Structure 1
Amino acid sequence: MKILIKYSCITVLLLQIIACTSVKQLRYFNDLPDSSRIVLPPLELEQRIIQKGDRLAISVAGESEEATAYFNTYGGLPTMGGVAGGRQGGMQGGGQGGGGTELGGFLVDVDGNIEFPKLGVLQAAGKTSQSLRLELEQKVKPYLKNPIVNVRFMMLQFSVLGEVRSPGIKTLQPQRTTLLDALASAGDLPRTAKRYDIQIYRDYNGKREVLEVDLRKKDILYNPELFQIKHNDVIIVQPRNINLFSSEANGIIGLTTVLISFATLLVALAR
């Protein structure tokens, strides 16, 4: 009887060890201290560089309503047709007819340019939204008194591939740019995904690189290069070793079966 109880306890202990090991592989930020509040340093938001294929919302304000209406005709907000959508789609759709009519805004073409009312073709790629805004304010001054120009990115686009619940091309508002937001948009990681083997392929501002991420460690929270994704990033999540995962499952099932058998035997002997 004592021997059976001893082996049952050992079995339960082994089962708990396997379960804890499995959970650790699935948890994010395992090395964070146990605390109800953990203060992290603020992330410095990098000025995003305008690239080919970006879509910009540009609006102009000033003292003359007629002049501002002219500048805003072709690309401040998404449009569903009409003069604004038709012309902007033709000019900025990269030769694809009216393909830009529903999205609106100014599409940065393959040469890195936008076509702005009255000002014509302007170089945009390689600049920040702030520098382009200041440039436009200077250029519209001959046509508009005390102009105020606003330039913003209309979206952040990226791809999530591999072992996620919903892979594909995703878009977020430019204000939500973290890796956690990106993975959430793909339905999070299933149990079969490696939290410790995630690659980010990045082609940004003329530099191509692959970054390695381990979501089990807190280091990513302190590294803006890894924590904040950039436009056109490709996030690749690797699957766990299927044999390893299967062996874990088989081990748990086997130990559970043994435990149930011991428990049944103990009950029978107790009677």
Structure 2
Amino acid sequence: MENQNHSAEAEVKQAIFEGTHLQTGDLLDIKVAAFDDNAVRPFNLATMTQAGNSAEVVQSQSTQSGPVGYLVSNEGYIIFPVLGKLYVQDMTLSQLREDLERRLLEYLTDPMVSVRQLNFNITVLGEVKNPGQYTSASDKVTLLQALGMAGDMTDNGDRTKVKLVRHENGTDNTYVVDFTQKNITSSPYYYLQQNDVLYVEPDENKKIIAGTNPNRNLIFSIIGSGVAIISILISTLK
């Protein structure tokens, strides 16, 4: 058992995590640090003054009562203090961090930027115990963790044909994942992206019980005809 656990851990470590790609509607927590605390004040939402670019910064904050951060607009931009309007759509968090540190070198000698996603959402539907939408504090969410959030599959879930719906380049693409494969950690879809939807299909037995058998209408028609014939025979015998 111990060797199996070590093997599973090694496989997970080998899985490739490229990072989630930013989309419209993403809410980001961005903090700028440096040795000179006063120098970084204008670049942080929590400490900046109400003067200057404050009107633009407000547009970047969450409009709800939830956490305050930089909201990616429908056009893919955030409004950052001093730097202004920045296009961030399709960047990873790491790429955005590096881009901001490069831009801030014009104003700071030692900028250190941290970027965190505040609303990483995934949806798990179908044959799971607790279907619904889930928000993670981390963007590093795996297929297995997503199922865990939803309480795992029910006994009627088809583990060989789990559908992953992902919005890419303006379209929704569907991929099929087989959870029974030992090399699932090497799947390019092992790590989820923002707004991914997992749908666990019912197995064949559940489909039949639910009346989704394609021959269902034919079967009912035959049964109905049989009942009618029996009724006629009984009436004639009387």
**Shift of the alpha carbon at 1:133?**
2.1
Secondary structure, aligned partner of 2:183: helix
Distance 1:153 1:243, change over 3 A: closer
**Shift of the alpha carbon at 1:146?**
2.2
* Larger-gyration structure (1/2): 1
Distance 1:68 1:205, change over 3 A: farther
Residue 49 of structure 1: aligned partner = 21
**Shift of the alpha carbon at 1:215?**
1.8
Which of 42, 56, 59 is the matching residue for 1:91? 59
Is residue 158 of structure 1 aligned with residue 122 of structure 2?
A: yes
| Identical amino acids, percent of aligned pairs | 31
What do residues 33-57 of structure 1 show as CA deviations (whole Å, max 9, x unaligned)? xx64562541121133222122221
Residue 165 of structure 2: aligned partner = 201
- Count, aligned residues: 202
Residue 252 of structure 1: aligned partner = none
Secondary structure, aligned partner of 1:226: coil
The residue type paired with residue 68 of structure 1 is V
**Shift of the alpha carbon at 1:180?**
0.9
Secondary structure, aligned partner of 1:210: strand
Q: C-alpha root-mean-square deviation of aligned residues, in Å? A: 3.2
Which of 76, 83, 89 is the matching residue for 1:119? 83
Are the aligned partners of 1:108 and 1:124 in contact in 2 as well (CA < 8 Å)? Answer: yes
Distance 1:237 1:145, change over 3 A: same
**Shift of the alpha carbon at 1:216?**
2.4
Is residue 182 of structure 1 aligned with residue 150 of structure 2?
A: no
TM-score normalised to structure 2 length? 0.71
TM-score normalised to structure 1 length? 0.64
Residue 178 of structure 2: aligned partner = 214
The residue type paired with residue 198 of structure 2 is I
**Shift of the alpha carbon at 1:123?**
0.9
Are the aligned partners of 2:67 and 2:118 in contact in 1 as well (CA < 8 Å)? Answer: no
Listed as ranges, the gaps of 5+ residues in structure 1 are: 1-34, 77-82, 247-271
Which of 211, 229, 232 is the matching residue for 2:195? 232
What do residues 224-256 of structure 1 show as CA deviations (whole Å, max 9, x unaligned)? x2322211111111123337679xxxxxxxxxx
Deviates more, 1:147-156 or 1:182-191: 147-156
Distance 1:245 1:214, change over 3 A: farther
The 5 Å alignment of 1:165-176 reads: 165-174=129-138, 176=140
Higher helix share: 1
Distance 1:115 1:217, change over 3 A: same
Q: Distance in 1 between matches of 2:122 and 2:207?
A: 31
The residue type paired with residue 196 of structure 1 is T
Secondary structure, aligned partner of 1:91: helix
Q: Distance in 1 between matches of 2:58 and 2:105?
A: 27
Listed as ranges, the gaps of 5+ residues in structure 2 are: 211-238
Q: Distance in 2 between matches of 1:149 and 1:93?
A: 18
What do residues 133-179 of structure 1 show as CA deviations (whole Å, max 9, x unaligned)? 23222333343332222223234211111121111111123254111
Q: Distance in 1 between matches of 2:186 and 2:102?
A: 39
Q: Distance in 1 between matches of 2:47 and 2:172?
A: 31
Secondary structure, aligned partner of 2:135: strand
Q: Distance in 2 between matches of 1:245 and 1:192?
A: 11
Q: Distance in 2 between matches of 1:217 and 1:136?
A: 40
The residue type paired with residue 114 of structure 2 is N
What do residues 189-247 of structure 1 show as CA deviations (whole Å, max 9, x unaligned)? 11122222210001135564211122223232332x2322211111111123337679x
Q: Distance in 2 between matches of 1:169 and 1:116?
A: 29
The residue type paired with residue 201 of structure 2 is Q
Secondary structure, aligned partner of 1:221: helix
Are the aligned partners of 2:20 and 2:192 in contact in 1 as well (CA < 8 Å)? Answer: no
